[in-house]
């Protein structure tokens, strides 16, 4: 999963390592002279422990990026002293080409532009002026910077879904939205099974009252899972169907109502008005947006548009197992401010997993 993006992030790490290694192997003459000056200064003070400590302390502070300098860029003498004390300072020129390559890699992986820029800014801020001991690897610094930058954009808005279900008054009502054909109905069935595995009962309510065959499709899932289904005739009021589902759950001590809705575009005024009516009549506890991870930038744009038109609480990305780019997984939470909660990873009812930002970042940076 997301192997393409994983390879591109590994390429950035290699680019930075090559860039800093090249600088290390070709130290300028003036740096060598400055290094010699620093060494001579230490030698001249042999026997005077206070002076030696002062020289070493000054070199260490400079190597660590002394913030008192008026220049953002380390001076030649500062770089030489860092080198003399066994350190290398990462400079703008070391990052310029690797960051450009990283930006292209992220955009090619369907990461949204503002998200890519945020990642680049965070990596640059974290690494520029950073020093490392020569016995350590630049790759470790790169991996740490990428880890923090990716986690910052992926983990936006995260909350504990199961805890929210546990603490909420029952029944909990969850409404699913999105465009046609992205797997809303199947995701409802998967989530019903996920809840059952954790001891929660659920009822399905078919608010997709306009699509021919919608009742039959969700009924087949309900039959396979042994769940009850609340539905009306085709053309009925979606809000009324889901409201009936809530009443049924209350009467039968069912924990969760899972309400399907018709697939729609955010530009479909009539269908968006339906969502507004469902919100007024049912007042759902959560509205989840569903789209395909393989849709990449389109999924990111639709998530933003749906959230703008009718606020969502989180997202489910289907077909995540078939997505090599990872752009939607990286971008959706950042552009909406709402978390990705689940990933669909196959055709079976058990093929749904809680989205864990930390696990995803570790997987992307695994290098295996």
User: 230 - beta bridge partners?
Assistant: 205
Residue numbering of the annotated binding site for GTP: 178-185, 260-264, 318-321
Q: How confident is the model at residue 162 (pLDDT cuts 50, 70, 90)?
A: very high
Question: Does residue 259 have a pLDDT over 50?
Answer: yes
Preceding omega of 269 cis (within 30 degrees of 0): no
**CATH code for the structural domain at 161-356:** 3.40.50.300
Residue numbering of the annotated binding site: 178-185, 260-264, 318-321
d(CA 104, CA 99): 9
Mean of the pLDDT values across residues 120-135? 68
Q: Supply φ then ψ for residue 173, to 5 degrees.
A: -110, 125
Q: How confident is the model at residue 86 (pLDDT cuts 50, 70, 90)?
A: very low
Question: Does residue 348 have a pLDDT over 80?
Answer: yes
CATH superfamily of 3-154: SRP54, nucleotide-binding domain (1.20.120.140)
Higher pLDDT, 104 or 40: 104
Q: How confident is the model at residue 208 (pLDDT cuts 50, 70, 90)?
A: confident
| Helix 238-251 and helix 269-282, axial crossing angle in degrees, nearest 10 | 30
Q: What is the CA radius of gyration of the chain?
A: 28
Residue 210: count other Cβ atoms within 10 Å of its Cβ.
17
What pLDDT does 15 receive?
67
Q: How confident is the model at residue 204 (pLDDT cuts 50, 70, 90)?
A: very high
Residue 140: count other Cβ atoms within 10 Å of its Cβ.
12
Tell the residue number behind the tokens 């005077």, with chain if given.
Answer: 48
What pLDDT does 49 receive?
46
Mean of the pLDDT values across residues 155-170? 94
Cβ–Cβ under 8 Å, residues 161 and 354:
yes
Kind of pairing between the strands at 340-344 and 202-207: unpaired
Q: How confident is the model at residue 105 (pLDDT cuts 50, 70, 90)?
A: confident
What pLDDT does 52 receive?
41
What pLDDT does 290 receive?
95
Question: Over the chain, what is the mean pLDDT?
Answer: 79
Question: Does residue 173 have a pLDDT over 60?
Answer: yes
Give ranges for CATH 1.20.120.140 in the chain: 3-154
Cα dist. 79→29, 96, 175 in Å?
12, 18, 59
Give ranges for CATH 3.40.50.300 in the chain: 161-356
Instruction: List helix spans (H) across 226-356.
Output: 238-251, 269-282, 297-309, 327-336
Question: Does residue 152 have a pLDDT over 80?
Answer: yes
- Mean pLDDT lowest among 1-5, 38-42, 86-90, 306-310: 38-42
What pLDDT does 4 receive?
74
How would you write 60-127 as a 3-class SS string?
HHHHCCCCCCCCCCCCHHHHHHHHHCCEEECCHHHHHHHHHHHHHHHHHCCCCHHHHHHHHHHHHHHH
Q: How confident is the model at residue 203 (pLDDT cuts 50, 70, 90)?
A: very high
Contacts of 120 (CB under 8 A, 6+ apart): 99, 102, 103, 106
């Amino acid at each position: 999963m997301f192997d393409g993006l994983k390879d591109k992030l590994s390429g950035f790490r290699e680019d930075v390592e090559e860039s800093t290694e090249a600088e290390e192997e070709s130290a300028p003459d003036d740096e060598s002279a400055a290094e010699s000056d620093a060494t001579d200064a230490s030698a001249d003070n042999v026997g005077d422990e206070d002076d030696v400590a002062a020289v070493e302390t000054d070199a260490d502070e400079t190597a660590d990026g002394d913030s008192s300098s008026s220049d953002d860029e380390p001076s030649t003498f500062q770089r030489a002293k860092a080198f003399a004390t066994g350190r290398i300072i990462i400079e703008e020129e070391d990052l310029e080409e690797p960051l450009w390559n990283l930006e292209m890699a992220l955009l090619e992986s369907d990461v949204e532009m503002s998200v890519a820029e945020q990642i680049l800014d965070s990596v640059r801020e974290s690494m520029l002026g950073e020093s490392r001991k020569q016995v350590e690897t630049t790759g470790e610094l790169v991996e740490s910077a990428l880890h923090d930058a990716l986690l910052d954009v992926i983990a936006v808005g995260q909350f504990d879904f199961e805890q929210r279900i546990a603490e909420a008054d029952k029944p909990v009502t969850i409404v699913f939205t999105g465009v046609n054909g992205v797997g809303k109905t199947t995701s409802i069935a998967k989530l019903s099974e996920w809840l059952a595995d954790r001891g929660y009962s659920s009822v399905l309510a078919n608010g997709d009252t306009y699509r021919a065959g919608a009742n039959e499709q969700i009924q087949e899932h309900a039959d396979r899972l042994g769940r009850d289904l609340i539905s009306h005739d085709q053309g009925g009021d979606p809000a009324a169907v889901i409201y009936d589902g809530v009443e049924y759950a209350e009467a039968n001590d069912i924990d969760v109502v899972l309400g399907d809705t018709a697939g729609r575009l955010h530009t479909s005024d009539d269908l968006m008005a339906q969502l507004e009516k469902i919100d007024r009549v049912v007042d759902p506890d959560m509205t989840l947006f569903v789209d395909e991870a393989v849709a990449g930038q389109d999924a990111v744009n639709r998530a933003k548009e749906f959230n703008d038109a009718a606020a969502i609480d989180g997202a489910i990305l289907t077909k995540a197992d078939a997505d090599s780019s990872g752009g939607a997984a990286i971008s959706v939470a950042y552009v909406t401010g709402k978390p990705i909660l689940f990933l669909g990873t196959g055709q079976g009812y058990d093929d749904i997993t809680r989205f864990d930002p930390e696990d995803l970042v570790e997987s992307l940076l695994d290098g295996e």
